[in-house]
């Protein structure tokens, strides 16, 4: 059974930093892409950052220059370093994995940025 286990959310002041981690287990095929999405109250889920199997990384426009996504392919993990956090970054962050033509989601971790 595929599981995405997230960690690292929490409460931080504006301008601060947080690091999110996601570990995928139970996957028996190659991972095509892995990354993070977020959803704020009353808003649609949006891309934060995603990295492909070839190493191409895409970022949402609102986080470019502030967030950095990295991966450990051997361990099926990704880490999202979030710097210069803003109150508008407050959301539930979901780890996402596309493998074997299937999409998997983590349970979500709350990130709250106070002003």
* Statement: residue 7 has pLDDT above 90: yes
pLDDT exceeds 90 at position 29: no
C-alpha distances out from residue 37 to 92, 95, 96, Å: 8, 6, 7
Is 50 within 8 Å of 96 (Cβ atoms)? yes
Mean pLDDT of 43-49: 97
Which of 23-32, 35-44, 61-70, 89-98 is the least confident region? 23-32
pLDDT computed for residue 1 by the predictor: 87
SS3 87: helix
Q: pLDDT (tens digit, 9 = 90+) per residue, 52-109?
A: 999 999 999 999 999 999 999 899 999 999 999 999 999 999 999 999 899 999 999 9
Give pLDDT, residue 91.
98
Beta-bridge partner residues of 46: 38
pLDDT tier at 28, thresholds 50, 70, 90: confident
């Amino acid at each position: 059974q595929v599981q995405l286990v997230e960690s690292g959310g929490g409460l931080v002041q504006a301008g601060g930093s947080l690091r999110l981690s996601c570990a995928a287990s139970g996957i028996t095929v190659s991972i095509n892409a892995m990354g993070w999405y977020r959803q704020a109250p009353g808003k649609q889920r949006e891309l934060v950052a995603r990295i492909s199997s070839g190493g191409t990384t895409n970022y949402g426009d609102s986080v470019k220059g502030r967030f950095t996504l990295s991966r450990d392919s051997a361990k099926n993990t990704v880490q999202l370093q979030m710097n210069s956090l803003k109150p508008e970054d407050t959301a539930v962050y979901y780890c996402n994995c596309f493998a074997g033509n299937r999409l998997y989601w983590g349970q979500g971790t709350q990130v709250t940025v106070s002003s």
